[in-house]
Structure 1
Amino acid sequence: MFQTSEIKDKIISSERAAELMEDGWCKADMHVHTCCSHDVPPAWQSHPARLFEKAKSMGLDYVTFTDHDTIKAYDMLGWNREDLTPGVEISIKDIENVGHTVHMNAFAFDREQYQEIELLAKKEKNIYSVIDYLKSNDLPYIYNHPFWFKFGEKPNILAVPELVKHFPVVEYNAQDLRQKNFFSMVLAQRYNKGIAINTDSHTGNIGKVYTLAQGDTFHEYFSNISKGRSYLVMEEPAWKHFAAELGGLIELLFSIDKGIWEETGFSTGIGAFDRVMSALARDMPDRSNKLNKATASLARQVASSRLPVFLHMLSKKSQVTRIERMVNA
């Protein structure tokens, strides 16, 4: 049976984190999206160069960007840039072994290795083939938001514990429901896996949460996390991170040009939200400045409230109940 006290002890305050960093502990946010991802607004705030500068100004020791199935950010920044570790979020729809789409982050690869990873993920659609390749090449990888399931797919919740067994590190996603993250931590503890907390930011909020571990290189840092020698730093509750991301999307929406929006075909992946955002973007150039500001203000107020979080929690209530039964079985 899991020990809730041990799980809670993994999360520490920024004050305690500062003490550890004085002793040489390092911090990183290992799940961040740039404007190279299909679901990130094409704005300067999310440009790889801007995010790299922001990450360094916030004191992140290791910086990585994990865009959806693309490495464009590294083509833009340079593959050998100091303090920058190549990363990617891989999407694998493995119906035979899993039954639904799984997201995982991989790190510290070169261009040729990424091409091999991409081939396995897109052609074979076999998550275990990808994992075998990463292990054989000593490449770090994380199981992202284990209890997130792509809209429109029927999730196979029973497949999650089996998958956890094959990952060195499991993610605590700052935007996911607190209950889901708790169950992810339970499985990580049950199978002796590391746990890392990440923002999964799509709006430039890099480093709002971070994982602390020792390591003179990224590989050493990640190895310590996989061995459980790490702490999670998160000052605000998960619902506030979720609200901040929605607010950030609103800010970006009202800052980008209509033509850019239509050209890129930006999508958050949330159907209803996308329709509202697209409608706002389409109408903005035709509105008076006063009305535009009023609409933006209202959108920000709704996004920063608990209403979107409450509705999201309500929609996932039955799913959380099924997950809890499976974890406790």
Structure 2
Amino acid sequence: MGSGTYTGGLKVISSDRAAGLMENGWHKADLHVHTCCSFDVLSAASMHPESLFRKGRRNGLDIVTFTDHDTVKANDIIGWKREGFVPGVELSVRDPVNVGHTVHINVFGFDREQFLEFDHLAREKKDIYSLIDYFRSNDLPYVYNHPFWFPRGDRPNFPAVPELVRHFPVTEYNMQDLRQKNLFVMALAQRFGKGMVATSDSHTGNIGSVYTIARGDTFHEYFSNISKGRSWMVIDEPFCKYLTGELNSWIELAFSRRKNIREEVGFTTGMGQLDKFISLLGSDSLEKSPRMSCTAKNILKQISGSGVPALIYMISKQPQVSRIGRVINA
């Protein structure tokens, strides 16, 4: 992406450029990572919070955090006050009155009691603005995740997104989502003077493959600088290449624990046709035949490596991209 570029007034640089800044008091973190504690992550050993914590530190992350879906099990495993670790969670909020579709929020730096309080608000009150008031009153950093990504089955309320962005200090450039959608988010962040973070949102252990750098001796200082735009997003790969790599990692994980795939409830790659093919990995015939298993793995990797699944996914989302564009431009 070049040594440094401005996209919509927000800064994106390469890892080579970031390396120079890191020598001068900047810190880096990937603020959206999932472990095997998330319902949609395969429970391979490499996805255990301890394994991912060590990998994140080896990859040079000054701050490691895990944002599993509506659970803090990873925090329990790692230790809430472990050095180099910041407690996190990805909270799912369904507010039928103010929004209409499910919103995902990453929250950081809370304790167990606070989690129970805001988790109860999300589940019972279902009022996103009450949640935001809670985060503000308790000085908890929070991020609007992938604003233009919507769970399967949800009916997106596109006009609600710009209004929501106004109420968040930071929003997200999510590498699991289309570049066009991320550019729309960047345009909104610039319009409303919001900070942005680049995140992997990895469900396969690719922690720190993209990240955000900013100054700050504490996590709150680091996050405050991001919210003020005093940060850089570090992204090296285009979406298609990144997604292909994530799919390849998923295939490796799937075959490493193939016998238990049928027990994985709720997992999805986000690509319906690929999900159907991968479901065959749990069949008795593949369990009994190493040769068939090896053949199936090679076929999957060839399909994924061709870039076709990523391309199909991109094409399938173009109508949605057009609708979002009309809302943003309006």
TM-score (norm 1): 0.95
- C-alpha distance in 2, partners of 1:283/1:27? 45
What's the counterpart of residue 86 of structure 2?
A: 85
SS of the counterpart of 1:66?
Answer: coil
Residues 281 and 8 (structure 1 numbering): CA distance in 2 closer, same or farther, change over 3 Å? farther
Q: Are the aligned partners of 1:29 and 1:197 in contact in 2 as well (CA < 8 Å)? A: yes
CA RMSD of aligned residues (A): 1.6
What's the counterpart of residue 185 of structure 2?
A: 184
What's the counterpart of residue 286 of structure 1?
A: 287
- C-alpha distance in 2, partners of 1:269/1:154? 20
What's the counterpart of residue 114 of structure 2?
A: 113
Q: Are the aligned partners of 1:92 and 1:101 in contact in 2 as well (CA < 8 Å)? A: yes
Tell me the amino acid that sits aligned with residue 261 of structure 2. W
**TM superposition shift of 1:273:** 3.8
- C-alpha distance in 2, partners of 1:299/1:193? 40
What's the counterpart of residue 261 of structure 1?
A: 261
- C-alpha distance in 1, partners of 2:180/2:261? 35
- C-alpha distance in 2, partners of 1:228/1:191? 12
**TM superposition shift of 1:74:** 1.2
Q: Are the aligned partners of 1:197 and 1:209 in contact in 2 as well (CA < 8 Å)? A: yes
- C-alpha distance in 2, partners of 1:266/1:285? 21
What's the counterpart of residue 317 of structure 2?
A: 316
Over 6 Å off, 4+ runs: none
- C-alpha distance in 2, partners of 1:311/1:6? 26
- C-alpha distance in 1, partners of 2:261/2:136? 39
How do residues 1-329 of structure 1 correspond to structure 2 at under 5 angstroms?
5-7=6-8, 10-258=11-259, 260-268=260-268, 270=270, 271-283=272-284, 285-329=286-330
Task: Write out per-residue CA displacement over residues 43-95 of structure 1, whole angstroms, 9 at most, x where no aligned residue.
Answer: 01111000000000011011000000000001111111111000000001111
Q: Are the aligned partners of 1:41 and 1:266 in contact in 2 as well (CA < 8 Å)? A: no
- C-alpha distance in 2, partners of 1:274/1:128? 36
Task: Write out per-residue CA displacement over residues 101-156 of structure 1, whole angstroms, 9 at most, x where no aligned residue.
Answer: 01110000000000001101111111111111011100000000000011111100
Q: Are the aligned partners of 1:253 and 1:281 in contact in 2 as well (CA < 8 Å)? A: no
Task: Write out per-residue CA displacement over residues 147-206 of structure 1, whole angstroms, 9 at most, x where no aligned residue.
Answer: 001111110000000000000001000111000000000000000000100000000000
| Number of residue pairs aligned between Structure 1 and Structure 2 | 325
**TM superposition shift of 1:309:** 1.4
**TM superposition shift of 1:242:** 1.1
Q: Are the aligned partners of 2:10 and 2:190 in contact in 1 as well (CA < 8 Å)? A: no
The percentage of aligned residue pairs carrying the same residue is 57
SS of the counterpart of 1:225?
Answer: helix
TM-score (norm 2): 0.95
Tell me the amino acid that sits aligned with residue 177 of structure 1. L
- C-alpha distance in 2, partners of 1:129/1:276? 42
Runs of at least 5 residues in structure 1 that lack an aligned partner in the other structure: none
Runs of at least 5 residues in structure 2 that lack an aligned partner in the other structure: none
SS of the counterpart of 2:67?
Answer: coil
SS of the counterpart of 1:171?
Answer: strand
- C-alpha distance in 2, partners of 1:104/1:111? 17
Mean CA deviation greater in 286-295 or 225-234: 286-295
